[in-house]
Amino acid sequence: MGEFSFYFPVRVKFGVGLWENLGEEALKFGRRFLLVTGKRHLKDSGILEKIKGSFNNYQCDLFIYDKVPPEPPYYSVDEGAEIVENNNIDTVIGIGGGSVLDVAKAIAVKCKLPNSIWNYIGADKVPKKGVPCILVPTTAGTGSEVTRVSVLINPETKEKLSVASDYLYPNLAIVDPYLTLSLPPNYTAYSGIDAFIHALESFLSLNNNLLTEAISLKAIKLIYNYLPRVYKNGESIDLRKKVLYASTFSGIALTLTGLGAIHALAHPIGVYRNLPHGLSTALITLPVLEYNLEILSREKLILLGRTLGIFSLRSAQEKIIKKIKDLFDSLDIKLGLRDYGIKYEDLPLLAKEGLKSRSIKTNPREIKEEILLNLLQRAW
């Protein structure tokens, strides 16, 4: 590890009950707000009405955009940005899972840009900042509340790609474990696995450094130790808090280091069979990790092993793989692409799509299309 840079401009407020102060916090940024959320969860849980109530004591205008699906198409951003432009909105607030947060922060920049947000797919193509943005996660998974990335889908081409820019960092992240209490067990597992893989790939990334390494290892340890307990005891606020810590930590780490081949392949897997993102990452993790661990340095192997409770270097690679397989088993995640409607003849196309991902560039070991195909075949 030589020279590195560390840039993290997001103010994070973490604590139980902080979401109730959303109106007060938002008034620091403006008076006309667009609240971006999903189609059902906030309404069904009653939280949406309570959020509206937090703005009632202030002179302000609150607009709602509640059309964000779990795998958001790019035109969700374009639609939201049009609402901002037409109503002179000065602040965007996103509250929901990772998809909602990704759409909200993209809306905040798109409203100041011409053309569709899809024109800005890639790294650092956004030329200027947008309006202020506040993000409030309701899942412990993506870490999107602290990242510079918005992941979007093009339904016409079936591509799942990202806009990445420092201008996408939100101004404020309000991270409240209370909002994760209503997450069902299966989505608790999927989102938690996503955070785990974020931390794992950040630790292995070519851009990993001493600061991100410490953050990612802490996230790995917290999720490994506590996610199975949250899965079985989701009403525990203390357990939810620990996994949410880890999700935010992993978001900080990944946005500074990039990811790897697990996420590069998980995106097309999820798009082609409409699978939850966290499940898609789990399905491809073990073969990719086996491939990457073969070139891992002794020092990093020790660090990762100890984080997972392994204190001997003998057969360390195999033990790490088994530990992670055990984690998946504890969450009732069944592995095997074939069991999720993916045909063997689909694999070459998935490999080709995976190669488009920017995550390939920071994978610790060289990746080519034929290698991705082999990894998919091993996961099938």
> Do 257 and 160 lie in a common domain?
no
CATH number where 322 lies:
1.20.1090.10
Instruction: Determine the Cα–Cα distance for residues 251 and 49; give it in Å rounded to an integer.
Output: 29
310: DSSP letter: -
Instruction: Determine the Cα–Cα distance for residues 347 and 90; give it in Å rounded to an integer.
Output: 45
More confident residue, 44 or 355: 355
Q: Pick from 180, 212, 241: which residue ends a domain?
A: 180
Tell me which residue has tokens 């902080």.
Answer: 18
> Do 271 and 330 lie in a common domain?
yes
Number of domains in the chain: 2
Task: With CA atoms as reference, report the closest residue to 253 among 241, 262, 245, 242.
Answer: 245
Confidence of residue 2 (pLDDT cuts 50, 70, 90): low
> Cβ-count burial of 74 within 10 angstroms (0-12 exposed, 13-18 middle, 19+ buried)?
buried
281 is a domain residue: yes
pLDDT at residue 49, as a whole number: 86
Res. 271: pLDDT tops 60: yes
pLDDT at residue 125, as a whole number: 96
> Do 190 and 333 lie in a common domain?
yes
The mean pLDDT value of the chain amounts to 94
Res. 153: pLDDT tops 70: yes
> Do 121 and 206 lie in a common domain?
no
254 is a domain residue: yes
The domain in which residue 33 lies consists of 11-180
Res. 131: pLDDT tops 90: yes
**Which residues lie across from 162 on neighbouring strands?**
151
80 is a domain residue: yes
Instruction: Determine the Cα–Cα distance for residues 15 and 13; give it in Å rounded to an integer.
Output: 7
Percent residues over pLDDT 90 in the chain:
86
Confidence of residue 3 (pLDDT cuts 50, 70, 90): confident
> Do 170 and 239 lie in a common domain?
no
CATH number where 82 lies:
3.40.50.1970
Task: With CA atoms as reference, report the closest residue to 291 among 204, 188, 199.
Answer: 204
Res. 90: pLDDT tops 90: yes
Res. 65: pLDDT tops 90: yes
Instruction: Determine the Cα–Cα distance for residues 39 and 366; give it in Å rounded to an integer.
Output: 41
> Do 303 and 170 lie in a common domain?
no
21 is a domain residue: yes
> Do 236 and 368 lie in a common domain?
yes
Q: Pick from 158, 180, 202: which residue ends a domain?
A: 180
5 is a domain residue: no
> Cβ-count burial of 40 within 10 angstroms (0-12 exposed, 13-18 middle, 19+ buried)?
exposed
> Do 21 and 128 lie in a common domain?
yes
Q: Pick from 150, 180, 210: which residue ends a domain?
A: 180
1 is a domain residue: no
pLDDT at residue 1, as a whole number: 53
> Do 17 and 101 lie in a common domain?
yes
pLDDT at residue 113, as a whole number: 96
Could you read off the pLDDT of 220-239 as tens digits, one per residue?
A: 999 999 999 999 999 999 99
170 is a domain residue: yes
Could you read off the pLDDT of 4-31 as tens digits, one per residue?
A: 888 899 999 999 999 999 999 999 999 9
DSSP character string of 73-107: BHHHHHHHHHHHHHTT--EEEEEESHHHHHHHHHH
pLDDT at residue 135, as a whole number: 98
Confidence of residue 148 (pLDDT cuts 50, 70, 90): very high
> Do 246 and 368 lie in a common domain?
yes
6 is a domain residue: no
Residues whose CB is less than 8 angstroms from the CB of residue 253 and which lie 6 or more positions away in sequence, other chains included: 198, 199, 202, 203, 212, 215, 216, 219
> Do 220 and 269 lie in a common domain?
yes
Structural tokens at position 215: 């953050």
Structural tokens at position 100: 């909602």
> Do 74 and 33 lie in a common domain?
yes
Could you read off the pLDDT of 311-341 as tens digits, one per residue?
A: 888 889 999 999 999 999 999 999 999 999 9
